[in-house]
Structure formats: C-alpha cells, structure tokens
Structure 1
Amino acid sequence: MTEDRKAIVPVWTLATGDVRGPALTGDEPMTAERLAELRGVLAVLADEPIATLEVHPLPDQLDRSRGIPLDAASPLAQHLSQLITQSARNSSVAATATAASEGLYRMVVPAKVAAQFGQGIIRPMAAKGAADGIRGALVNSTGSIVGQPTFVPVGKAAAAGAVGGAGATAGVAVAGSAALTVAAPLVLMAVAVGASANADYKRQQAIEHITELLEQLHEQKLEDEHSELDGCRDAIDKATAILLDQGKLGVSLGLDSAVHAINTALGAADRRLARWQSALDKLPDAKPVEIGTLTKSFPGVDDHGGTFRTHLELAALAIALKRRVIVLQAVEHAQDDPDNLFENFARALKRDQQRLDELESSIAGVLERLSALELAGPQGLRPVFTTGEVDRLMRAANRIHKLGDGVMVNSRTTDVAIEIARNKDGSVVVFPALPM
C-alpha cells in the first residue's frame, strides 16, 4: 500500500482509566516521529496505560483472512463506532477522515504497557518472500509505515464507553489532559482480539509444519498427539466468539477438555525439553560431536523431517493454543470486575504467560546450543570418509546450524500495533498484533 505523504491522519490518545496525565498533546500537527515520542512520554508520565489510535484510508488490497472478524453488534465494533460518532461532532479532522464510514484504524500500545502482557504473546510474523520482514496492513516488508502523513490530535474527544455490556469506564480524562479519551473497553478488546489473532496465526504456521513433517514420518503416536491438539480449535473459536460478545462461557463448549489436552501437550513439551537439555549438558566441551551421537538424542535433527523437529512444532502448537486460552481467561477476569477492567486483564495475562515465556525461551536456548555445535563424522578405523559420508555431514551441519535462525531469547518488548479494518456496515476485522 502506498499512502499519500500529504494525508492528514487524526489520532486519538486513549486512556484506560480516569487519569491525570500531562497536557502534552495540544492540537498542533505532528510527524510520525513526534507522535512516537509523545507516546513514550505519555506512557512514562500518565497514571494509567495510554494508547493512541490513528485512522488511515482502507487499502485496496487487504488480506482479511489473517484477522478475526467481528460484526457491527460486537462490543469492540460498537465502542469504535461510538468514538467515531462523538469525535466527529467536535473535530472537523475526525469528521472528514471518518465520513466514508470505513477505514483502517491503528491502535499503538506503548512498550511499557505491552510488557504487562508477557514477552512472548506478541512476536514478529515473518512475511512470505521477506526473510526478516513483518507483514501488516500498513507496513512494508521492512516493518516501516509507508509514506509520511501528518498526524493531528483529536482534542476533547467524547469517550468511547461500553455499549450494551459490562466494563464501562467512560469519560474525558480529568483536567490537565483534556485530549485523553477514557476508553478502557475499546483498548482491552483491541488488545485481546489482536493477541488472540496473533496466537492463532502461530497455530496455523505450526499446523502447516506439523502436517508436512508427519507426511514424511508416518508416526501414528505423533499423529494422534497432533489430532488431539488440533481438535481443540473448535472449542477455543466458539469461546472466543462468545467472550468477545461479552457472553458467558458454559460447560457445553468443551473448553475444559480442550484446556486439558493443551496442558497435557505442554507437559510432554516440558519433559522433552528436560531430555534435550540433559543430552546437551552431557556433550564434551569444545569438542566436535559425532553426528550419530547427536541423532540418538535428537532423532532427525540432521534431516528436513524427523521426530525432533515434529516435537518442536507440537510444542509450538501447544504454546500458541494456550496463549489463546489465556487471553480468553484474562478477558473473562476483566469483564467480571467492571471497575478494575484493564488492570485485571493485564494482571491475569502476565501471570499465566510466565510459564509459557519460560518454556519458549528454554526451547530457543536448546536450538541456539545445537546450532553452535561443531560436527564430526562417524568415528572408526578408516582414515578417510566416503563421498557420501562427507556430503551427509555437510548437509547435516548446514541444517543444524540453521536451527538458530530466527530464534528469540528474552526479546526486548517494543511498542505494539493492532490494526482494525472497519467496513461501511460497522463490522470490523482485527489483525494480529505486531511489534513495531
């Protein structure tokens, strides 16, 4: 997508509580760099989490299949519609930008706030055809916003309160920060759907990899493990739809049995991780490792397929499914306590994320250690290797060294962008949350 460099983009500053914040926004036009600085200052100085919301023209070509659709009656869509309607009454810039009733809304949550969600819930998504790229509706293959529009704050915007649901925290923030619109339900719902879409994208990636690996392995036990995990999707999808419409979860959904299957898979991942770490610890320091020795503990590590790589993808699938469940549980917590909405959400999410973050980080550590190993050929009485043995060793070394590519251990928390496509009928599609 290319965006007009002279475009005027309205931007709201959204608070998640009735806060006393610094009067920094004003109503003067600003650059993207200035807006980023402002977000950082607000995150540090404001009493409650602050997010910004921009509205851009809807791109001509937009892959909506990556996102989660919500109809116009859903709370998120109604919160957004109310913000648009009430803001247009007080701001000609907002009125002009939202007149078409459709657009691409971009909510940016500062790193300080994003850290509350755990380090692993939002990670870069590799774009096809771009090794290090991040794919998003408003970003190019390098992760940068295309074009240089001018951002204009929407001052004294009316609040986006709850519409037809619990958790209303509405109103313009108190004196000293009149441009801060209190919109906790809107921020919470956007973060929740964006995080859920992100986790589901990772689930899809893991499913694709597992399917390809199992076609090569013909391993029934791993097939069963995969089928049981993939069977959890239906219950999680239904629970997501119900909670995002602010309904109540019931036993008939089957979410309890899905959570049990996911926890069982995570337990298997923990046990396998312990075996991998133990096997690496037993290897001699600073000495080449015979390929045969390595494949005993990591079967198939030297090949495209193999049991080890399937175990990695099964762990990734279980983690992705668990992250979706945790988001649902956090939303449910927040909705049960309307007066403490965003704080409950962030607290529940962070607490339960820690185990997954540690598991994911530990698996990444194993891959880094494997990728750094120096390999040796088969040991025997023969003084030279055959051509086939040399070729196998070179292929194995190349594949094992690539295990460390793209591994992120204790990645730095960044600002998080959540993009929402709004249609003319008020329905929305929320795309996976992306680090900036």
Structure 2
Amino acid sequence: MIDYRKATVPVWTLATGDVQVPAVAGDKPMTAERLAELRGVLAVLADRPIATLEVHPLPEGIDRGRGMPLDAASPLAQHLSQLITQSAQGSSTAARATASGENLYRMVVPAKFAAQLGQGIVRPMTVRGADGKLYTALVNSTTKRIAGHVTFEPVGKAAAAGAAGGAGATVGVAAAGSAALTVAAPLVLMAVAVGVSANADRKRQQAIERITELLEQLHEQKLDDERRELDGCRYAIDKATAILLDQGKLGVSLGLDSAIHAISKALIDVRDRLARWQAALDKLPDDKPVEIGTLTEAFPGIDDHGGTFRTHLELADLAIALQRRVNVLQAVEHAQSDPGNLFENFTRALKADQQRLDELESGIAGVLVRLSALELARPNSKRPVLTTGEVDRLMRTAHRLHRLGDGVTVGGRPADVTIEILRDKDGSVVVFPALPAEV
C-alpha cells in the first residue's frame, strides 16, 4: 500500500449543471476533513448534484478483477482524459500528479444527492454472518482506514478552456461566482452509472456463489432451475451495458426483453415468499419461546447449514441485484435521450425504479431481524432431561437464528457514495463498484 502521508492530491469539484454558489472552496490546499465539510456545504447550497474527484497514485496489488473495464474510446474514458488534459495545462500540481498516466481517481457524490439514486443501491456488500466487506482501494486492509494522510489542492479553474454552459457540456466552468466548479455532467453520469452497475454485478456474483454452495447440499432441482434462469440473464445485461456505455442504441436482438421477463417473474416469487414469511411471523405468539418444529414448518431448513429458506434468501438477493442493473441501464438510456438534461433524467428514472426494490429489501431485512430475535423453546419431551443431541440442536439452531441479523441494514441515513476509477497509460479505465464512503 502506498504511503500518502506527505502527498499533495489534486481535487476537482464537478457540477452536473450550471449552478451558482458562494466561493467557499477557495484555492488553497485543504485537509481531508475540510474537503468533506466542503462537499457538505456545496450539497446544501447547490440545487444540482455536485461531486468531488481526487487523483491518487495507483496502489500496489490492486484487484482489477472486481471492477468493470472500459477501453480508451469509451465516453467515460474520453471525458476523464479531457478533464485531465485541460487541468494539467493550468495546474502544475495536476500535471505532476497525472504525468505517469496511471492513477486512481476517487469520485465522491454527497449523501444529499446520493439519496436520489435509491437508498439501497450502494449498501456495503457483505456475506451473511461473516465479515465479507469489500473495502475501497485507498483503504488499508488491516487498519480499515484511509492509507496515510494527504493534502488536497483544488484544480477547478483549470477547466476554463472547455465548453461552458449547459448540463450537457463535456467540461466547462459553472456560472459566475463559482469558477472552481467544473461542469462535467457526462463524466459524473457515466461514473455513477458504471459504479452502480458494477456494485450490483458484484452482489450478483456473491449471491451466485452462495446459492451454488447451498444447492450442492440441498439437491433441489426446482431451485437450481431458478438459479440457472436468473444467472443466464446476465449475458444480455452485460451486452446491453457495454452498448449503452458506448452511447449506442439497444436492439431486440440482445435478448434484454427476455431477461427482464425472467427477472420480473423471479421478483414476483420473492414478493410471494416475503408475504408468507411475514404472515408466519405474525402468527407466532408474542413474548413466548418458539419450538423448532413450529419454526421449521414455516421456514424449511432454517435450522440447517443450507436449507430451502436460506436458498430462497439468496435467490431474492440475486433477482434484486439483476433488477438493479436493469434499472441503471434504463436510466442511462433515458438520460442519453436528452443530452441537455443528463443527470436529472438519470436520477429521476433511477429513483422511481429503485423504490419498490428498496421496499422489498427492507421487508426481507425486517424478517431476518425478527427471526434473529426469536427465543427457542425446549422440545416437548416426557423426559425431565434433554438428550445431548437435543441440546446440541437447540444451541445450534439458536446460534444460526441470531446470526441471521448479522450485516442486515434496516433504514439508516444515506451516506456519501464513493466510486473509484483506475486509469491506465493507454487511457483505458477500470471502474470499481460504488460503495458508501464510510466503508
């Protein structure tokens, strides 16, 4: 991991439209804490989404496989290259930092605007019952903190040579009185779209891995068919993602309509199962221990390492992750159809589609929390003392129940969204999954 303790890191303040705010940024170097405060102030003062973009040295041993690669000809890579070129002409700090051509760019969207993208879309990715968090490339894997300390130097004014005026401008300066704000709606749109899509695909991969492991123990053909049909949708989604991120048009031949139909059917199954789980919990007596037999009747296999219930949970995760990727595709297509109103169209379309998925995830989280709080009753037996096997099963099941609540997020305040972009010397980029900035 690179030591950033004495580094000066350039930072751009990117607006997604013409906005006018007081000159709160200034042109002097600032600390990370000051930068975070600045993002919060700008989010309050501006009515259009504003993001910051930092450029860091490329960390050693970074795992490119967890990101989404785009070649140098892709719109995102081109917008980023243009920003770098224009900024380097007017800032010696930016010129020095980007001279090697290999850097890690860290875009942060303030919580106020990140909330418009859907509350559940960029939650931390965890494996149920385990510490499976995916930490960002700038976070030390041992201490879980940002590696070293850096000083940030604003580089907004360097983009003055770009085309100003209008949310559709590639790079330019925002309205008078805020020259440190760079208008870069397409850059922010593409970064958010790819980061969110990569996040959803990472969740899909995790869900597939867990489902495969569970089905190997369960030997349930019907559930295996569900998994195959859902995972098969990703090929059409991958192709559609590549085409849209190159600003192309989607066609029927991609098979996206069939994929959406399969995902929609799976989500209906998820809603039906969720309703049954909620009804079963409502029937349990209040403030009384529950027998294992009563619990397993409503939640088959909940007392096992695998089990039907746990597989249903993972299938729900898979269906939701795939639908989130589809929602991003539809939002990007909608935004690109109106180049003068990019980010507003994107957030509007995405927010509308995310609400029902957020509600679905919230309902599943509520079920898991309620289950984890249940108290188990001892088995009915004429014997005054339980057998060793009965005691073991009771303790094992209680432990597994309590673990269901691990890593579950119910509600909570929206966090800043972080998207990291690795740029190679040839101009190609790898966009890593969008994550809450606090991980």
TM-score when normalising by structure 1: 0.96
**3-state secondary structure, aligned to 1:419:** strand
Q: Which residue of 1 aligns with 2:436?
A: 435
Letter aligned with residue 433 of structure 2: P
**3-state secondary structure, aligned to 1:150:** strand
CA separation in 2, counterparts of 1:252 and 1:137? 37
CA separation in 2, counterparts of 1:143 and 1:416? 17
**CA-to-partner distance for each residue in 1:125-159, whole Å, 9 max, x for gaps?**
34999837541111124543111111000141216
Letter aligned with residue 287 of structure 2: A
CA separation in 2, counterparts of 1:338 and 1:49? 16
Tell me the CA shift for residue 101 of structure 1: 1.2
Q: Which residue of 2 aligns with 1:212?
A: 213
Contact 1:18 1:171 in 2 (8 A): no
**3-state secondary structure, aligned to 1:275:** helix
**CA-to-partner distance for each residue in 1:11-50, whole Å, 9 max, x for gaps?**
0000000111221111101100000000100010023111
Alignment of 1:276-355 (within 5 A): 276-355=277-356
Letter aligned with residue 8 of structure 2: I
Tell me the CA shift for residue 216 of structure 1: 0.5
Distance 1:430 1:35, change over 3 A: same
Contact 1:9 1:150 in 2 (8 A): yes
Contact 2:86 2:162 in 1 (8 A): no
Alignment of 1:109-120 (within 5 A): 109-120=109-120
**Aligned length in residues:** 433
**3-state secondary structure, aligned to 1:12:** strand
Tell me the CA shift for residue 355 of structure 1: 0.4
Distance 1:247 1:55, change over 3 A: same
Tell me the CA shift for residue 170 of structure 1: 4.0
CA separation in 1, counterparts of 2:48 and 2:320? 30
CA separation in 2, counterparts of 1:168 and 1:156? 16
Distance 1:378 1:127, change over 3 A: closer
Tell me the CA shift for residue 377 of structure 1: 2.6
Q: Which residue of 1 aligns with 2:245?
A: 244
Alignment of 1:399-410 (within 5 A): 399-410=400-411
CA separation in 2, counterparts of 1:161 and 1:196? 29
The answer to whether residue 194 in structure 2 is matched with residue 193 in structure 1 is yes
**3-state secondary structure, aligned to 1:360:** helix
Q: Which residue of 2 aligns with 1:99?
A: 99
**3-state secondary structure, aligned to 2:158:** coil
Tell me the CA shift for residue 272 of structure 1: 0.3
CA separation in 1, counterparts of 2:144 and 2:275? 36
CA separation in 2, counterparts of 1:47 and 1:90? 28
Q: Which residue of 1 aligns with 2:36?
A: 36
Q: Which residue of 1 aligns with 2:45?
A: 45
Deviates more, 1:413-422 or 1:125-134: 125-134
Gaps spanning 5+ residues in structure 1: where?
Answer: none
Alignment of 1:12-411 (within 5 A): 12-126=12-126, 131=131, 133-141=133-141, 143-158=144-159, 167-168=168-169, 170-411=171-412
Distance 1:159 1:135, change over 3 A: farther
Contact 1:91 1:155 in 2 (8 A): no
Letter aligned with residue 52 of structure 1: T
**3-state secondary structure, aligned to 1:25:** coil
CA separation in 2, counterparts of 1:158 and 1:14? 10
Gaps spanning 5+ residues in structure 2: where?
Answer: none
| % identical equivalent positions | 79
Contact 1:160 1:186 in 2 (8 A): no
**CA-to-partner distance for each residue in 1:360-399, whole Å, 9 max, x for gaps?**
0000000000000000132243333211111111101101
**3-state secondary structure, aligned to 2:159:** coil
**3-state secondary structure, aligned to 2:157:** coil
Distance 1:238 1:46, change over 3 A: same
Contact 1:361 1:409 in 2 (8 A): yes
Tell me the CA shift for residue 327 of structure 1: 0.5
Contact 1:18 1:182 in 2 (8 A): yes
Letter aligned with residue 435 of structure 2: L
**CA-to-partner distance for each residue in 1:317-368, whole Å, 9 max, x for gaps?**
0000000000011000100011111000001111100000000000000000
Distance 1:298 1:160, change over 3 A: farther
